[in-house]
Structure 1
Amino acid sequence: MRQLHGRPNGLQRAHVDKDSLVNVSLASVKDPYKVLGVGKSASASEIKKAYYGLAKKYHPDTNKDPTAKDQFAEIQTAYELLSDPKKKEQYDQFGAAGFDPNAGPGPGGDPFGGAGNPFAGFGGQGGFGANFNFEDLFSAFAGGQGGNPFGGGGRRGARNPFQQEILVGDNIEVQTNISFMEAAKGTSKTITITPLVTCKTCTGSGLKAGTQRSQCKTCGGTGTRVHFLSGGFQMASTCNTCGGTGASIPKGSECKSCHGDGVTRERKTLTIDIPGGIEDGMRLRVDGEGDAPVTGKAADPNIRGTRGDLFVFVRVASDPKFSRSGSDILYTASIPLTTALLGGEVSVPTLDGQVNVKVATGTGTGEKMTLAGKGMKKLSGRRGGSGDLRVEFRVQMPKYLTANQRMIAEMLADELGDKTAKRIMNIRTPE
């Protein structure tokens, strides 16, 4: 199955390939405010929002620009600096020089109190080392567990300052059927879906107005239960009462509209544009038209959520005249025996109507000709264009001949010197 683009669904944890990142020294970093495009008075949430947008845009996995890797590293470093109140204060006071381990103390003495490199915990002098958790840094992006960092959720329980959990709703899949000609030219289809949407009554909290969540009594709010085994060993497992959230909606406090889920079903009609050239079995993705996440069951009632995607599975019907090979169309043209012998002109159907093509003298079954640009639209390639119409000729052989036709055929055999042809008319050609 081919798809035009896709993304995993669900609450998931992103993974970043460390080898794809470039180390950038904090001492040599550009002005972090300019890198993130925020002012010095920007709040922590504004800085975080700017960082997420830029990191998505310049991540090397999705941006193939040769400079994207360096820009991505600068964005990381700028956010690392500005997201930490102490480091931000140091930068505001001393600038980039305040992070240079080789720089001498200022007039007031060592501004770091003899602490050395203030970022040693991140490994190396000014670089990201083995102790830096890149996975936590990107857990705010949607993605699959151990997969693309832009496909889903986060990780519950960690307290890394760079970590943020995002709930991603499930994807929805539907099927639509189109004709061969619609696939060739492109078309629009109206489909109806019933996705989960954020509850309008409780705005996704799952709570009735004036109520709040309570701490899980089974696990004491930790979300886990510890089991003591023989030999002094311990084993932790997810609390089966709260599902690992550490909190729950008290009975009677659930929103009546969504029953505590934070989402409800809503009927929706969409018009889907299907591009010309699409093939049978391809899928189209419509961003953000899938289910909303079930935020009422999340550990954090204020957790960020994003909807899944809608995938439209396209089935293309066969055509009685044409078959297909990629962007090329195949057509078999039957021609009379006399046209094959003498040559001539026959009418051939195309996607845009009938055209006349010339048949060369002596054309045999299986011979082909190509009508350039008369095929399907091409989905791939920057210039677009269309494939070709490939015509294969098939000579129609008469099964029965009248006496007159037989006589003419035997005379032709004599004229051509064919001594193997059967003769029953006893016609002699003049010498």
Structure 2
Amino acid sequence: MKFKDYYEILGVARTATADEIKQAYRKLAHQYHPDVSKDPAGEEKFKEIGEAYATLKDAEKRAAYDELGRHPSGQEFRPPPNWSGSRGGQEYSFDDVDLSDLFASFSKGRQGSQHQGRSMPIPGQDYELATQISLEDALHGTTLDLSFTVPEYDQQGQLKRVPHTFKARIPKGVTNGQKMLLRGKGGKGANGGPDGNLYLNISFIPHRLFKVVDYDLFLDLPLTVTEAALGATVKVPTLEGAVNLKVPEGIASGQKLRIGKRGLPKHNQEHGDLYAVIQIVVPAKLSDRERELFKELAKASTFNPRAHFE
């Protein structure tokens, strides 16, 4: 028969613990599962991984396997003398037999025929799905109708793309770039294994007025020259309606005015703030009267914004 290095297949040392073997199997089983693997040899690798784990997870089978010694994978070999006799008196013919069949026969001897052919539970595949919500949805929370397709095998063993449609509750207080876990909404498990999980990667739809930094919102607030110089009370939009904001006289472009608790909600029921960033705007075209007034102002004013140059 041909030798198969089960430790090499799972990528573990021969001294690996049972937990290390289990972890290696789970990682590789997900990687080469036929539902997700694009490797042309993925299905064959998946079978080899399951075969290796079925032997090494069982203490008696692993001990018997270790007695076979080390050989290059694929090399023809025969078990050492008296190896079959040490297996509880069972006799084996090593002609035209596969290594996996040999170790599968141990289960038949110990557990009886009712366990023959029982497949190992395989957890379903985890998936990630990107979705966008508005700032208003982040403020109040929302329910999304989600739909995506995953590869699954039907009863005839054919691989098909199966649609998954469900509702997902997005609580208020989510952040831009947050990853939400939806348990059991991923791929279907096989042979009684648990369904996989779905991870929602949430991002905010760009808003025409507001920019987001953590839980705070920033808004460019245009002011006229006279509003900036004399001060004013102006209406400022928020996610929950406009509020009146008092602008002090002499404010400069780039300064920020804070409007408390008008940002996005946090998990502790507090809110971020809204910052109005001052932008002084001059008209692109002046009327004759406006031009006259600006000329009068220029003559009367002693203000020199470039005095520090001198």
Q: Could you say which TM-score interval applies, normalised by the shorter chain?
A: 0.5 to 0.7
Q: Give yes or no for contact 2:121–2:190 (8 Å, CA) kept in 1.
A: no
Query: Among residues 252, 259, 268, which one is paired with 1:371 in the alignment?
Result: 259
Alpha carbons of structure 1 residues 143 and 406: separation in structure 2 relative to 1, 3 Å: same
Task: Please give the root-mean-square deviation of Cα atoms over the aligned residues, in Å.
Answer: 4.1
Task: Answer 1 or 2: higher relative contact order, Cα 8 Å, separation at least 6.
Answer: 1
For 1:242, the equivalent position in structure 2 comes to: none
For 1:177, the equivalent position in structure 2 comes to: 132
**TM-superposed deviation, 1:344:** 1.1
SS of structure 2 residue aligned to 1:385 = coil
Q: Give yes or no for contact 1:286–1:311 (8 Å, CA) kept in 2.
A: yes
Higher helix share: 2
Q: 1:366-405 maps to which residues of 2 (within 5 A)?
A: 366-379=254-267, 383-405=268-290
Give CA deviations for 1:406-425 in whole Å, capped at 9, x if unaligned. Answer: 333333334333599xxxxx
Partner Cα separation in structure 1 for residue 243 and residue 266 of structure 2: 22
Give CA deviations for 1:321-340 in whole Å, capped at 9, x if unaligned. Answer: 11111111110110111111
* Identical positions, percent: 24
Q: Within the alignment, does 1:292 sit opposite 2:188 as a pair?
A: yes
Give CA deviations for 1:166-205 in whole Å, capped at 9, x if unaligned. Answer: 52111233333322322333211112345577x9xxxxxx
Give CA deviations for 1:381-426 in whole Å, capped at 9, x if unaligned. Answer: xx24221111101111234433433333333334333599xxxxxx
For 1:411, the equivalent position in structure 2 comes to: 296
Q: Give yes or no for contact 2:222–2:280 (8 Å, CA) kept in 1.
A: yes
Q: Give yes or no for contact 1:195–1:292 (8 Å, CA) kept in 2.
A: no
**TM-superposed deviation, 1:306:** 1.2
Q: Give yes or no for contact 2:146–2:165 (8 Å, CA) kept in 1.
A: yes
Q: Within the alignment, does 1:343 sit opposite 2:231 as a pair?
A: yes
Q: Within the alignment, does 1:160 sit opposite 2:56 as a pair?
A: no
**TM-superposed deviation, 1:350:** 0.6
Give structure 1 stretches of 5+ with no counterpart. Answer: 1-12, 16-130, 146-152, 200-256, 296-303, 421-431
For 2:211, the equivalent position in structure 1 comes to: 323
Q: Give yes or no for contact 2:123–2:193 (8 Å, CA) kept in 1.
A: yes
TM-score by length of 2: 0.57
Q: Give yes or no for contact 2:121–2:189 (8 Å, CA) kept in 1.
A: no
Q: Give yes or no for contact 1:288–1:307 (8 Å, CA) kept in 2.
A: yes
**TM-superposed deviation, 1:373:** 1.3
Q: 1:7-86 maps to which residues of 2 (within 5 A)?
A: none
Tell me which amino acid in the other structure corresponds to 2:301. L
Partner Cα separation in structure 2 for residue 419 and residue 288 of structure 1: 68
Alpha carbons of structure 1 residues 268 and 340: separation in structure 2 relative to 1, 3 Å: same
Q: Give yes or no for contact 2:176–2:214 (8 Å, CA) kept in 1.
A: no
Partner Cα separation in structure 1 for residue 225 and residue 16 of structure 2: 79
**TM-superposed deviation, 1:349:** 0.6
Partner Cα separation in structure 2 for residue 195 and residue 413 of structure 1: 70
Alpha carbons of structure 1 residues 265 and 336: separation in structure 2 relative to 1, 3 Å: closer
Alpha carbons of structure 1 residues 156 and 359: separation in structure 2 relative to 1, 3 Å: same
Partner Cα separation in structure 2 for residue 416 and residue 177 of structure 1: 52
Partner Cα separation in structure 2 for residue 390 and residue 408 of structure 1: 33
Q: Give yes or no for contact 1:196–1:292 (8 Å, CA) kept in 2.
A: no
Partner Cα separation in structure 2 for residue 308 and residue 374 of structure 1: 39
Give structure 2 stretches of 5+ with no counterpart. Answer: 1-9, 29-48, 63-119, 306-310
Partner Cα separation in structure 1 for residue 242 and residue 253 of structure 2: 22
Tell me which amino acid in the other structure corresponds to 2:179. R
Partner Cα separation in structure 1 for residue 161 and residue 298 of structure 2: 79
Alpha carbons of structure 1 residues 282 and 406: separation in structure 2 relative to 1, 3 Å: same
Q: Give yes or no for contact 1:347–1:357 (8 Å, CA) kept in 2.
A: yes
Partner Cα separation in structure 2 for residue 314 and residue 283 of structure 1: 6
**TM-superposed deviation, 1:376:** 1.2
Tell me which amino acid in the other structure corresponds to 1:259. Q
| Corresponding pairs, count | 219
Q: Give yes or no for contact 1:140–1:166 (8 Å, CA) kept in 2.
A: no
TM-score by length of 1: 0.43
Give CA deviations for 1:143-163 in whole Å, capped at 9, x if unaligned. Answer: 646xxxxxxx993312139x9
SS of structure 2 residue aligned to 1:404 = helix
For 2:146, the equivalent position in structure 1 comes to: 191
